[in-house]
Amino acid sequence: MSNYHIKHLEEYYQVYRKSVRNPEAFWEEIAEEHFVWRKRWDNVLSWDFKKPEIKWFEGAKLNITENCLDRHLPTRGDKTAIIFEPNNPDEEAQHITYRQLHERVCRMANVLLDHGVKKGDRVCIYLPMIPELSVALLACARIGAIHSVVFAGFSSHALGTRINDSDCKVVLTSDGSFRGNKSIDLKGIVDKALEGCPGVANVLVVKRTGSDIHMEPVRDKWLQPLLDEAYADCVAEVMDAEDPLFILYTSGSTGTPKGMVHTTAGYMVYTAYTFKNVFQYKENDVYWCTADIGWITGHSYIVYGPLANGATTLMFEGVPSYPDFGRFWEVVQKHKVNQFYTAPTAIRALAKENLEYVEKYDLSSLRVLGSVGEPINEEAWHWYNNNVGKKNSPLVDTWWQTETGGIMIAPIPYVTPTTPTYATLPFIGIQPALMDENAKEIKGNQVEGRLCIKFPWPSIARTIWGNHDRYRDTYFSAYEDMYFTGDGALRDAVGYYRITGRVDDVIIVSGHNLGTAPIEDAINEHPAVAESAIVGFPHDVKGNALYGYVILKETGESRDRDNLRKEINQQITEHVGPIAKLEKIQFVSGLPKTRSGKIMRRILRKIASNDTSNLGDTSTLLNPEIVQEIMDNSL
Ligand code: 7RM
């Protein structure tokens, strides 16, 4: 029996038990049989959730790009590694073979080396969804540089903060990006960010839109001429299993974004293994994940997981609504996509449109549908299952996080029977636990609690860049010897998990994690604003939308409210990015606060959600009278 590819439910249970009874032996076998190593490990796992310190495959030497590229060349050199589908359907798609991808990665790696990038240096990547983005990740990995991808929808302020937090030396970007019928001036955003980033020596610029941009002498260079001149082969740097592979920022409930650090070997093994099973990928399948590589889903399930399996992975530059709402299905038909992985927010947006957009296209190639990013509601689940899958493609609802690196709870298609809105069973090697208010584990079924994981898995993030204490405090201090996810979940009668949502101040809007703190900071910087609080409320497309309560300074009281609303959203766009704009802004004279001065968001959340029948105990508030005022004027 090969434990690498699970094909029956009995096999799942058998392999699961094995992976839990003896995790070291289990992962050792997977690592040994399915990857290439320069040197074998001395020890499979050492861990201590108290420190916390987690090491997988210690002592092993490898390069992840040899696993994603070089090893495929003899057998899959002419196979398509990446299909690039441009924003504009009239522009031709590109098919990049493994051999071509290898060459492009080597050339870019050599350009980075020429610019003084060494093993362990950080490189910031701020690129749209074009092939150079995947090439850039792999080029960093080739030479042992640590990539830090910043989603190209983030503002200059957010970009600058991230560049400085991890001291990036080089930034890779493009002149601009295409999104539907818009183009965005990415280079202008980079220029503005770099006014506050003295550590950046070079900006390497991909030409995409051909727009007229400023090139700072010495610092900025067009990438293409450098790639053309570069040598087409590059010796892979030999990395330790636990050397950092990348940093990826995720919002926290407080403070600055957290630079989650993922290391090389464990991340590779786990993303490859989950990819193979959760998508039941078979040679010659075409797999498409619609996420942006700026998020963890893109890192793990557009780039590393698929390429480690020698798969064909599709990169889409555009948006689901351009040139019309049939675009996703047109692309599925055109490239005969077999596995399709998207987010509930996209499903909900498309479900609002005419069914003809779906029915027009031949979707018979589809075998597996995936969902990720937030809980998928019942309606969206059925719409996706009925109209896209034609009740014929299992729908895998995959729960995981930036911090977990790979999929943690998900059905295995054609193996695990699915239930709408349930992520179902823990993946192989994953040991979930539900905790009660007294920090005790809740055993048995038909229970609800806070979701923790009891035992390390290979792709768990190892630290927060530059702040190990925050890593411990955020994930390992709420419950002893457990990783705390920040999510609530229930376990039904058969042991299936359903994720109920965040239990902290992170709000998921259109599948993007937003911390309340940086948004409130941005609002508070407006000269007319005294104080603010934001909460999420249910939205039929975005899942949640943001509701802001704003107290004005005396000087702001006389100003036009609609202008103020626009300015506040402009402020947010500049500091955080347009995804964090507020749907509703209510001006209030005060905010409900506890005696220790904490804003009672619970009450604000209920008012924003129009659910005021039971506000709970407000007697402990410092200013209970404010609640009525806020309710009377709610939007
Ligand atoms: C992969 C990713 C993580 C948070 C997580 C959850 C929520 C993600 C699901 C989900 C319910 C799902 N990484 N989440 N997937 N909730 N069902 N299938 O999204 O770091 O950006 O977000 O997203 O709250 O903690 S992430």
Q: What is the pLDDT of residues 434-472, one digit of tens each?
A: 999 889 999 999 999 999 999 999 999 999 999 999 999
Q: Tens digits of per-residue pLDDT, 45-69?
A: 999 999 999 999 999 999 999 999 9
**Hey, what are 228's tokens?**
């053309």
Q: What does pTM read for this prediction?
A: 0.90
DSSP 3-state percent helix, strand, coil across the chain (nearest 5): 35, 25, 40
Q: Please state the atom number of ligand 1 nearest to the C-alpha of residue 401.
A: 13
Supply the residue whose CA is at minimum distance from atom 10 of ligand 1.
374
Other Cβ atoms within 10 Å of 441 Cβ, number: 13
Supply the residue whose CA is at minimum distance from atom 11 of ligand 1.
375
Question: Running DSSP on this structure, what letter comes out for residue 200?
Answer: -
Which residue type, as a one-letter code, is found at position 179?
R
Give distance in angstroms: CA of 508 to centre of ligand 1: 8
Supply the residue whose CA is at minimum distance from atom 4 of ligand 1.
401
pLDDT over 60 (residue 1): no
Give distance in angstroms: CA of 262 to centre of ligand 1: 17
* Residue 132 CB burial class (10 angstroms; 0-12, 13-18, ≥19): buried
Give the neighbor-by-neighbor strand order of the sheet with 447-453: 441-442, 432-435, 447-453, 483-491, 497-502
Q: Which residues line ligand 1 (CB under 6 A)?
A: 250, 295-297, 372-375, 397-402, 423, 485-487, 499, 502, 508, 513
Q: Please state the atom number of ligand 1 nearest to the C-alpha of residue 513.
A: 21
Task: For residues 551 and 540, give the distance between their C-alpha atoms in angstroms, rounded to a whole number.
Answer: 28
Give distance in angstroms: CA of 373 to centre of ligand 1: 4
Q: Please state the atom number of ligand 1 nearest to the C-alpha of residue 501.
A: 24
Task: For residues 437 and 228, give the distance between their C-alpha atoms in angstroms, rounded to a whole number.
Answer: 60
Give distance in angstroms: CA of 589 to centre of ligand 1: 35
- Mean pLDDT across the stretch 295-302? 97
Give distance in angstroms: CA of 499 to centre of ligand 1: 9
Supply the residue whose CA is at minimum distance from atom 5 of ligand 1.
401
**Hey, what are 354's tokens?**
């005419």
Percent of the chain with pLDDT over 70: 98
Pick the residue with more confidence: 529 or 236?
236
In this structure, are residues 333 and 361 in contact, taking their beta carbons and an 8 Å threshold? Answer: yes
pLDDT in the model for residue 375: 83
Query: Which domains does the chain possess?
Result: 2-475 (3.40.50.12780), 506-632 (3.30.300.30)
Task: For residues 163 and 175, give the distance between their C-alpha atoms in angstroms, rounded to a whole number.
Answer: 18
Most confident among 248-257, 323-332, 622-631 (mean pLDDT): 323-332
Q: Please state the atom number of ligand 1 nearest to the C-alpha of residue 486.
A: 25
Q: Tens digits of per-residue pLDDT, 520-566?
A: 889 988 999 988 999 999 999 999 999 999 999 877 888 899 999 99
Q: Please state the atom number of ligand 1 nearest to the C-alpha of residue 399.
A: 18
Give distance in angstroms: CA of 102 to centre of ligand 1: 32
pLDDT in the model for residue 525: 86
Give distance in angstroms: CA of 55 to centre of ligand 1: 24
What's the alpha-carbon Rg for the chain, to the nearest Å? Answer: 24
Q: Which of 406, 411, 380, 319 is nearest to 541 (CA)?
A: 380
pLDDT over 70 (residue 252): no
* Residue 524 CB burial class (10 angstroms; 0-12, 13-18, ≥19): middle
Q: Mean pLDDT over all residues of the chain?
A: 95
Q: Tens digits of per-residue pLDDT, 155-194?
A: 999 999 999 999 999 999 999 999 999 999 999 999 999 9
